[in-house]
Chain A
Amino acid sequence: MLSRRALIGGAGAALALAAGRGGAAPLAKVKALGTLRVVVYQDNRPWSWEEGGKIVGLDADLAQAIAAKLGVRADVAQLVADESVDDDLRNGVWKGGLLGFMPGDLMLHVPFDRSFAARNDQVAIVAPYYRESFALAGVGGAMALEGMPTEWRGRRLAAELDSIPDFYLIGSFGGILARDVVHYPTGSAAVAAVTAGQADAVLASRAQIEHGLHRAGAGRVTLRRGPLPAFTSPGWDIGMAVRENSRTLGDAVEEIVTAMAASGEMKALFARYGVSWTAANAAG
């Protein structure tokens, strides 16, 4: 099984076949059709997930807000994540899925990163709208949250399987914490384990933690304030992608996002999910 192989370099070229069905629309076409097809990730709490037959979450709300401001209806579609976001851009934006997933006009939750954008030249990555980073939260008092990670031996440490937090907890400090790591399929599930008392601490994205604490109500779980020693991920900006030939749409969306940030609308949207909105570094 080729479960984690990033499509890089030559392998990508083999897939760069002519785009099949549909194709994302530039601004004028979106307005004429009256529909903006927005791709979000499936099962990606707090950003997008299904609840009571509806797609909800930060990205789902943002998709609705953008469509409303363009004066069109939002058609929000959930994409199953592939092995890398490079693959997701192929499936979700410029080509479509092998099994018939129709590409969107706009895809949310795409890393806004110069090197990443450079190797994905079939799309334009625009409108950075959030600065994401990893954080640690735990049951205050039960463990030395601000201490050295090596003090956490014997504690139940929750992390998403095969994530940067997982690699950090399992691999750092000579693997001293490896046996204490409890794995979950998503960061949100790892956070829920701590709020439910099934784990003592969690290392996950800040949005996953803040949303999880918000859901669980006020409790004894708090965020570590100090940085984690030898933790290498400085965080990353999140933006959106349109097809390379849909830049008019990308420009319009970027204007909308900039205005939402300036007006406080973005902050309010995030607050509904308990997440403190942080402007992307690149949003200057």
Chain B
Amino acid sequence: MKGPIMRALSGVAAITLAMGAAPLVAQSGPTDADLMNDAKSTGDVLTYGMGPQAHRFSSLNAINSSNVSKMVPAFAASLGGEKQRGQEAQPIVYDGTIYVTGSYSRLFAFDARTGEEKWQYDARLPDGIMPCCDVVNRGAAIYGDKIIFATLDARLVALNRNTGKVIWNKQIADYKEGYSATAAPLIVNGMVITGNSGGEFGVVGAVDARDVNTGELIWHRPVIEGHMGTLKGKDNGITGKLNATWQGDLWKSGGGATWLGGTYDPDTNLLFFGTGNPAPWNSHLRPGDNLYTASTLAIDPATGVIKWHFQTTPHDGWDFDGVNEFIPFDATINGKPMKLGAKADRNGYFFVLDRTNGKFIGAHKFVMQTTWANGFNKNGKPNVIPEGRPPAPGDAKGKPVFASPSFLGGKNWMPMAYSHDTGLFYIPSNDWGMDIWNEPIAYKKGAAYLGAGFTIKSIADDHIGALRAMDPKTGKIMWEYKNNAPLWGGVLTTGGNLVFTGTPEGFLKAFDAKTGQELWKFQTGSGVVGSPVTWEQDGEQYVAVMSGWGGAVPLWGGEVAKSFKDINQGGALWVFKLPKS
């Protein structure tokens, strides 16, 4: 039993306190050990990714491929109000409560048995913020008596999980300088670990660790070479080597926002964070690899020191970004058991690395087409196709260049899942390209500017979205499910031989994990762009997902907008289970 009192206290002290100090009950809750054990504890969902390694796998099998067709809603709960935009959150489930974050930096606590709202917290947002890609939030983190989430004005807010009252509220970056925050925080060893997001130039990606009880900064690690990191207020070494892969002073504003957060591997004691695209956009003005943009970084959680890096798109000129989650897993390669990690990148390749040292093992194409590179060589460098690079603004006026994947990526923010049973990764991907051209008439902040025009285009007649099952050992795609509209939600896989994901058309769907056969679907009333979870409660297995269309696709969809033009806004938590026989 996960008794909150017994876990927090021990020995004689526990007995004394349990008798004398009832208020302590409210102070207890998930511990560091609970968070690290989340992948195995089936009665709750304590972390973003259902475990620090973010496998999004549950061994639960009461709902399985033979009975999922009977699954029905248990309840739905509306996020209400007029703020019905993209709902990209993953629910957290603990002690009879479901915690979800909503668009416009809101956090809700719902009764996990009835769906009734317990409390709601609305962040007061300044109107001067300019989020690039809709007003989304991807989820909260739970620890002890706290539920913690990031807000669009780049703050981290810790609330009492029972009352919704603020415990601490810290600025993590300055929204006036273009910073924002949308990712779910990661909690490791009593520290809240966050990345940052920002669409404006001048933004430099960083990973920060804060004391979970106070919000005070412990370490700060900028991800662009030349910037100084800190540990407990003192300098802690420069990231990389100054001007090694950047010209002039462009490293000072080099981009690399770590906007999707990270994963943690207790086995190697490493944090893994992906970094965003370099700035400025025009790659011709910043020759070099531009480290550590578009990379995965392995970071020591105690000090914030970078242990290794692997760059997936050197000298990114397509906004492929490199933020996608890096998922630790173990497998036997060429007869040798290895500690590995996998990342399905925006650039269309599925990377497998040795997670102890970042060594390249393989890169496998998981989308229909990559115009920027033709595979990767043995050293982990892309075989770049030079004519696939967008031209410098001012050159070659008018003629568009076609690039695939589009800047929204072969896979965007939406997390994949890894099944312990099938050994397969389930990747929510999209097959689309873009035309890019130099826009002769462009203006920014009232002044003439060299801009580029973009339009996203379909590359297949029958789909944009594709859920793909990837064998990480062979690079083979074992099955795929094609979807008309782009896929934009996370994936869950279970011991019941099931894979769940949502569609913009409004369905939550269940597939056979081995064959990809669609077994069940339910219309939630708006597009599903959140990540589903599952847990066991009162002897029954539940599945939950957020519904609410939005995110970057409707903002940037271009020609593919016709695939989702009839989808309405929404904002609801849906919870499902099998009917009682």
**Chain A positions near chain B (C-beta within 8 angstroms):** 1-6, 8-11, 13-15, 41-42, 44, 47, 78, 80-86, 88, 97-101, 109-111, 113, 115-116, 132, 161-164, 166-167, 170-171, 175, 178-183, 185, 187, 205, 232-233, 235-236, 238
Q: Are A3 and B200 in contact (CB under 8 A)?
A: yes
- Do residues A178 and B556 form an inter-chain contact, with CB atoms below 8 A? no
Nearest B residue to A234, CB-CB: B448
Contact call A3/B446, Cβ cutoff below 8 A: no
Say whether B248 contacts A179, CB under 8 Å: yes
Residue of B nearest to A9 (CB): B455
B558: min CB distance to chain A, Å: 4
Structural contact, A180 and B446, CB atoms closer than 8 A: no
15 A-B pairs within 8 Å (CB atoms) are namely: A1-B255, A3-B255, A5-B407, A6-B442, A8-B454, A8-B455, A9-B455, A10-B558, A42-B128, A83-B132, A85-B445, A99-B126, A113-B441, A167-B393, A178-B285
- How many angstroms from the CA of A81 to the CA of B104 in the assembled complex? 20
The CA-CA distance from A178 to B280 in the complex, in Å, is 14
Contact flag A2-B552 (CB < 8 Å), given A81-B444, A84-B444: yes
A82 near B394 with CB under 8 A, answer no
A3–B443 Cα gap in the complex (Å)?
14
Q: Are B443 and A84 in contact (CB under 8 A)?
A: yes
Tell me which residues across on chain B come within 8 A of A236, comparing CB atoms: 443, 447-448
- CB proximity of A88 to chain B, nearest CB, Å: 8
Contact B445 A81 (CB under 8 A): yes
Is the CB–CB distance between A2 and B407 below 8 Å?
yes
Query: Which residues of A lie under 8 Å from residue B393 when comparing CB positions?
Result: 167
Is B319 interfacial (CB 8 A cutoff)? yes
Do residues B447 and A132 form an inter-chain contact, with CB atoms below 8 A? yes
Q: Is the CB of B385 closer than 8 A to any CB of chain A?
A: no
Task: With CB as the reference atom, state the residue of chain A lying closest to B253.
Answer: A161
Which residue from chain A places its CB closest to the CB of B393 in the assembled complex? A167
Contact partners of A47 in chain B: CB under 8 A: 446
* A178→B247 contact, CB < 8 A: yes
The answer on a CB contact under 8 Å between B455 and A11 is: yes
Nearest-CB distance from A240 to chain B (Å)?
11
Which residues of B lie under 8 Å from residue A175 when comparing CB positions? 287
The listed residue (A11, A86, A162) touching B201 by CB distance below 8 A is A162
Q: Is A83 a contact of B199 with CB atoms below 8 Å?
A: yes
Q: How far is the CA of A43 from the CA of B38 in the complex (A)?
A: 47
User: Which one of B202, B284, B447 lies within 8 Å of A171 (CB-CB)?
Assistant: B284
Chain B residues whose C-beta falls within 8 Å of the C-beta of A13 in the assembled complex: 561
Bound Cα distance from A63 to B376, whole angstroms = 57
Q: A2-B319, A116-B443, A185-B202 are in contact. Are A180 and B248 (CB under 8 A)?
A: yes
Q: Specify which of B127, B279, B451 lies most central, judged by the most chain A CB atoms within 10 Å of its CB.
A: B127
Tally chain B residues at the interface, Cβ within 8 Å: 70
Partner among B133, B252, B442, B554 whose Cβ is within 8 Å of the Cβ of A84: B442
Contact B281 A115 (CB under 8 A): no
In the complex, number of A-B residue pairs with CB atoms less than 8 Å apart:
184
Q: Are B132 and A2 in contact, with the CB atoms below 8 A?
A: yes
Give chain A residues whose Cβ lies under 8 Å from the Cβ of B237. none
Determine how close the nearest CB of chain B comes to the CB of A165; give it in whole angstroms.
Answer: 10
Cα-based distance from A248 to B153 in the complex (angstroms)? 38
Residues in chain B near residue A183, CB distance under 8 A: 248-250, 252-253
Is the Cβ of A162 less than 8 Å from the Cβ of B558? Answer: no
Task: State whether A11 touches B555 (Cβ < 8 A).
Answer: yes
- Closest B residue to A101 by beta carbon equals B127
CB–CB B561/A1 < 8 A: no
Residue-wise, chain B 494-536 has the 8 Å CB interface mask toward A (1 for contact) of 0000000000000000000000000000000000000000000
Smallest beta-carbon distance B121→chain A, Å: 17
Docked complex Cα distance between A98 and B319 (Å): 24
User: What is the bound-complex CA distance between A81 and B132, given in angstroms?
Assistant: 12
Contact A1 B277 (CB under 8 A): yes
B73 close to chain A: CB less than 8 A: no
Contact of A85 with B446 in the complex, beta carbons under 8 Å: yes
Q: Which residue of A lies closest to B561 (CB)?
A: A14
CB neighbours of A179 from chain B (8 A): 247-248
Query: Chain B 444-481, CB within 8 Å of chain A: the 1/0 string?
Result: 11111111111110000000000000000000000000
Report the nearest A residue to B132, measured CB to CB: A2
Residues of chain A contacted by B201 (CB below 8 angstroms): 3-4, 161-162, 185
Q: How far is the CA of A233 from the CA of B441 in the complex (A)?
A: 11
Q: Are A1 and B276 in contact (CB under 8 A)?
A: yes
Closest to B560 in A: A10
Q: Does B282 contact A (CB under 8 A)?
A: yes
CA distance A15 to B561 in the complex (A): 11
Interface residue ranges of B548-563 to A (CB < 8 Å)? 552, 554-559, 561
